[in-house]
Amino acid sequence: MGKEQELLEAARTGNVAVVEKLLSGRHRLSAGSGGTVSLPQLSNLLSIWRGPNVNCVDTSGYTPLHHAALNGQREVVEMLLKNEASTNIADNKGCYPLHLAAWKGDSHIVRLLIHQGPSHAKVNEQELEETQGP
């Protein structure tokens, strides 16, 4: 199983240890010494650790954040958001992680996702149009 597949599965099942392990390299790689890194050094670092894309998608268009939001994995949602998971990716049916959390009735995850930023820029426009009428 590839690292992205592993991340998707860990997010779905709430396996915090695996999610943390898979995403930890992102911090190690970006937490340099403050100096410049030569191209050969950077190439070497990249060959040592190639972590999964935090916004990878499965065949249904779900990202790890979709899986975690749908399955009530609060700690995983928090970890993904801290690692720059996007709330703005829709699945194959046009649903964002916020939609899935709301559908499940998980107010904690809904608040986390709203605090991180709206899943879709037109959410407020749609509300406004509905209240104002045609």
Q: What is the pLDDT of residues 58-94, one digit of tens each?
A: 999 999 999 999 999 999 999 999 999 999 999 999 9
Model pTM? 0.73
Two tokens, residue 22? 């898979």
- Name the phi and psi angles at 111, rounded to 5: -60, -40
Task: State residue 100's pLDDT score.
Answer: 97
Mean pLDDT to the nearest integer, 105-117: 91
Q: For domain 3-132, which architecture applies?
A: Alpha Horseshoe (1.25)
Residue 25 has pLDDT above 90, yes or no: no
- Name the phi and psi angles at 120, rounded to 5: -150, 130
Per-residue DSSP letter, 33: -
The mean predicted confidence, pLDDT, of the chain is 82
In terms of pLDDT, which residue wins out, 76 or 117? Answer: 76
Q: What percent of the chain has pLDDT over 70?
A: 66
Two tokens, residue 118? 């709206």
The whole-angstrom separation of Cα 101 and Cα 103 is 5
Secondary structure class of 113 (helix, strand, coil): helix
Residue 16 has pLDDT above 70, yes or no: yes
